Amino acid sequence: MSRKQNLYLGKAGQFAAMSYCLVRGWNVATPEVDVGDDLIVIEDKKGIFFRIQVKTAQTTERANGYTVQFNIPVKQLVATIDPEIYYFLMVLHHETCSDKIIISRQDLADLYINQQIGSVSHGNLMLYFVFQKDGKITCSGVDFSEYNHNLDSFPIISH
């Protein structure tokens, strides 16, 4: 895939992540300068906000499902960050955002450190996910199914 096509793919994933937050009543802002945060989501009345890093990748078909790979900067992953960063790993399957793994930086760092998920190359943690037809999602043998479509940290806000 060309670099230009990757830019389109990345922006599509970012807009999809924005729409998931907006439909739940969160206000969404895009930083003018991207230094690690793609989106800022805010619960206006309480002043609660989170930083979101969006990663988007297309799947590869396999006999029992499909696979996808994401790269996360290790430096960002292991840093203590306040407010917390959430990763929205947007999975494009047949040109549709079929899955989204939503996980906090802290939870992902814990899995990286304590369960040795992924592999490091050029300062990035490479995460290779397997999506099985039975609905199970794994990365380095660790079950990630609970993180698929996990919008628990972004409850619906009534206005």
Angle at 16 between CA 150 and CA 134, to 5 degrees: 45
Q: pLDDT at residue 79 above 80?
A: yes
User: For the chain, how far is it from start to end, CA to CA, in angstroms?
Assistant: 42
Q: Where are the domains of the chain?
A: 3-147
pLDDT average, residue stretch 77-86: 91
pLDDT of residue 59: 94
Report helix, strand or coil for 156.
coil
pLDDT tens-digit profile of 45-54? 998 999 999 9
pLDDT of residue 95: 75
Q: What is the CATH number of domain 3-147?
A: 3.40.1350.10
